[in-house]
Amino acid sequence: MAAIAAARHGASVMLVEKGNRLGRKLLISGGGRCNVTNAKELPELIRNIPGNGKFMHSSLHNFGNRDIIRFFEELGIALKEEDRGRMFPVTDKAKTVLDALLSHLAQLQVRILLDQPVKRLLFDANAAICQGVELQGHRFLYSHGVVVAVGGCSVPKTGSTGDGYAWAKAAGHTIVPPFPTEVGITAEPEWLQLYELQGLSLRDIELTVYNPKGKKLTTEFGDMIFTHFGISGPAAFRCSHYVVTAQQKFGRQTLQTTLDLFPGLSKDTLTQQIVSLCRQHPKKTLRNLLKSFLPDRLIPCLLQSIDLDGNRTYDHLPKHGVPALADACKAWAIPVTGTLPLEQATVTGGGVSIKEIDPKTMQSKQMQGLFFAGEIMDVHAHTGGYNITVAFSSGYTAGQHAANLAKGKE
């Protein structure tokens, strides 16, 4: 997108790629369907960028989600909106998005160098101006504007191996240490053994994360799945940022999370609903009755967690039984130990400090002619199309201003 914007603004552009093809991460994005942007309004977009969303304000004004949708429509790629504003190509294929970008690059006569890892950035003698890049084999490319868009360091097989951090450091930038985010959360092994829930998915639940002092850090709504390591899926992904940052602050220790299976109901309403169901069917066991309320596999686990015998009918339950069950449904405790590692994360948190990048142009404040875009920056968003939106928006802004600089307009 940076190369496209620069070419559209009249620059002669060369796109240098380490791998043997472009857009490998784009191709696997959105489960191979590429959730290319999100249709929500700007304030909601910013809210879904927990890692320095406000920094993206100007850039999203310059080239935001509506522009991304129009951009692809003008290239003949229709997008469709799914739940929670997520936008996908109508074809349901990430390749459609990538092919559109590739043919537009060709149309704009952007030259592409494949299999060419950049080794380092070139600076002038005063280390004040970026003059180009060095490739392997002592080959040098000189330019008035260099956009570094080499990504973070998650899923390294796609080419994003964190190469850009050392270059940014050499240019005088601060690197906020990279960390995994939008990633699965690991649960205590004992808890996992106690409840064999692997593979069970839950819809529209709420997950809350607490710090070790018991303070609520976030409550996230969405779907979730139990896995062999703990919990995954959109709601867990959204919480992962808070698990990582709490452990950065308090040390690697077990944190408490709670699962609300009925976010739309108060505890009292839920208690009343269970009681009224029990009264309607006085001869049915609690376990059987709950089948209309909860996924089958969850019922014995929930009952076990509060030590309640599900084979009893309502009349034979202890007095505290149903309220305790409602409590467990509204706040089932899952002790968590951390997250999966950075390599397995959907997104890299941390990166080039945004304090040293001009948000209006994406140009480095330390080095003239050097621009940053995408995941290399200390900006990270929730899943839902927000990360590619950040990448495309910052890429477009960076490319546009790099071209203006190269053409002597800035």
Ligand X SMILES: Cc1cc2nc3c(=O)[nH]c(=O)nc-3n(C[C@H](O)[C@H](O)[C@H](O)COP(=O)(O)OP(=O)(O)OC[C@H]3O[C@@H](n4cnc5c(N)ncnc54)[C@H](O)[C@@H]3O)c2cc1C
Q: Among residues 37 and 131, whose Cβ is nearest to ligand X?
A: 37
Question: Using CB under 6 A, which of 15, 30, 329, 378 touches ligand X?
Answer: 30
CB of 345 to ligand X, least distance (A): 7
CB of 358 to ligand X, least distance (A): 18
Q: Among residues 155 and 326, whose Cβ is nearest to ligand X?
A: 155
Q: Among residues 73 and 115, whose Cβ is nearest to ligand X?
A: 115
Question: Using CB under 6 A, which of 25, 104, 241, 382 touches ligand X?
Answer: 25
Question: Using CB under 6 A, which of 48, 65, 154, 337 touches ligand X?
Answer: 154
Residue 18 interacting with ligand X (CB under 6 A): yes
Q: Among residues 183 and 270, whose Cβ is nearest to ligand X?
A: 183
Residue span binding ligand X (CB under 6 A) among the ranges 4-12, 30-38, 254-262, 305-313: 30-38
Question: Using CB under 6 A, which of 15, 17, 40, 45 touches ligand X?
Answer: 17
3-class secondary structure for the chain? CHHHHHHHCCCCCEEECCCCCCCHHHHHHHHHCCCCEECCCHHHHHHCCCECHHHHHHHHHHCCHHHHHHHHHHCCCCEEECHHHEEEECCCCHHHHHHHHHHHHHHCCCEEECCCCEEEEEECCCCCEEEEEEECCCEEEECCCEEECCCCCCCHHHCCCCHHHHHHHHCCCCEEEEEEECCCEEECHHHHHHCCCCCCEEEEEEEEEECCCCCEEEEEEEEEEECCCEEECHHHHHHHHHHHHHHHHHCCCCEEEEEECCCCCCHHHHHHHHHHHHHHCCCCEHHHHHHHCCCCCHHHHHHHHCCCCCCCEHHHCCCCHHHHHHHHHHCEEEEEEEECCHHHCCEEEEEECHHHECCCCCEECCCECEEECHHHECCECCCCCHHHHHHHHHHHHHHHHHHHHHCCCC
Name residues contacting ligand X, limited to 365-404 (CB under 6 A).
374-375, 385-388, 391
Name residues contacting ligand X, limited to 91-150 (CB under 6 A).
117-118, 149-150
Give the footprint of ligand X on this chain (CB under 6 A): 16-19, 24-26, 28-30, 34-35, 117-118, 149-151, 154-155, 158-160, 163, 346-347, 374-375, 385-388, 391
